Every structure is written in C-alpha cells, then in structure tokens.
Amino acid sequence: MARWSLPDPAKYLAAFPSIAKAFGGKAFESGTAYMANGITGVALWLPPGARSDEESLTRLFDENTDNDIKEDMQRIFEQMEKFHPTEPHWYLPMIGVDPVHQGAGAGAALMTEALKAVDRNGSMAYLESSNPRNISLYQRHGFEVIGEIQSGSSPVLRPMLRRAQY
C-alpha cells in the first residue's frame, strides 16, 4: 500500500519515516515495538488505547501523494475505520522484514513474541494486510480475514482479526 501511494522512490524514501512514525510511533512509547535478529525485521504494535496519529497521516499523505489518488486514499482510510474494532484491542499498523531475510522466520518470530503480550492482556488483535503473501502467516497466528478494502487502482487491503486467546 505504501509503494502504491508513494510510487516515486525519492518521495517514498523522504516521506516513509514520518509515515511510519505517525502510524506506529506510539509503539516505541509503549514498549511494544519488536525487533527481530538485529533489525532484520520490525513490528510496531499499538496496545489497547493507543492510536495512530491520524492528523499527521492525513497531512503526510495529502502532501506526498499524487492528486489522482488522493480521493482513493481518503476512501481507504474511511473503510479502514469501519473495520477497526471499537472494543479494546491491539493494532499492528506496521510490520516489515528486510527482503534479504524474508522467508527465514523473522516475521513469524515477530508475531509470536508480540502475541504473547496480546494473550497475556486477554485482548483481541487487529491488522490490515496489503500483501497477499502475508495472509497465511497471519492465519497461522490465529487471524481471520474479515473483509476487503479497495478504492480505484489501490491494492486490496485485507482487515484481519484475532480473537483473544487464553
């Protein structure tokens, strides 16, 4: 989704750190940012009550996306909000593994470690995946696809929910 919304490599590299901070920066404050094997991968989890910085996200995407997809971006954010659980939950706004290390278990390790905290808390977990290859990873960790989000030329974003596991 990030590469679709920022197709110009220079704009992507310039804007992505601020976008990552707005989406998941509160994970650092909450101690729920996870790192795998010397930064081969990271997952930014927001615990119940923590939210992404919606105002900054809107501004960043407005400033950096091409005019022809701005309306689609707004529709995507509106659809994301409709699927987002209203009860207390953990939210995974961002996860990534260095392409050189993909397929070696870093993503699974990140999910396993973070979900220990989720389960201790007795809460549900929620995420959206724009990468079809990641769906099976999330399903192995108990997530279920609960819908599809898409607008215009955007990739399909799949909201996924994992019920509390005790």
CA atoms within 13 A on the CB side of 134: 21
148 vs 42: CA distance, rounded Å: 25
117 vs 22: CA distance, rounded Å: 22
> Span 103-120, mean pLDDT?
91
77 vs 83: CA distance, rounded Å: 10
40 vs 107: CA distance, rounded Å: 9
Categorize the per-residue pLDDT at 87 as very low, low, confident or very high, splitting at 50, 70 and 90. very high
How long is the chain?
166
- Is the pLDDT at 113 greater than 80? The verdict is yes
Kind of pairing between the strands at 158-162 and 144-145: antiparallel
pLDDT in tens, 33-84: 999 988 899 999 999 999 999 899 989 989 999 999 999 999 998 999 999 9
- Is the pLDDT at 96 greater than 80? The verdict is yes
**pLDDT value at residue 39:** 84
CA atoms 38, 41, 46, 51: torsion sign: positive
- Is the pLDDT at 121 greater than 80? The verdict is yes
Tell me the pLDDT of the chain averaged across its residues. Answer: 93
CB 157 within 8 A of CB 149: yes
> Span 124-135, mean pLDDT?
94
**pLDDT value at residue 70:** 92
**pLDDT value at residue 145:** 98
- Burial tier of 138 (Cβ tally within 10 Å: 0-12, 13-18, 19+): buried
Domains of the chain as residue ranges with CATH: 2-162 (3.40.630.30)
Beta bridge pairs of residue 128: 159
- 50 or 121, greater pLDDT: 50
Structure tokens at 122: 């007795």
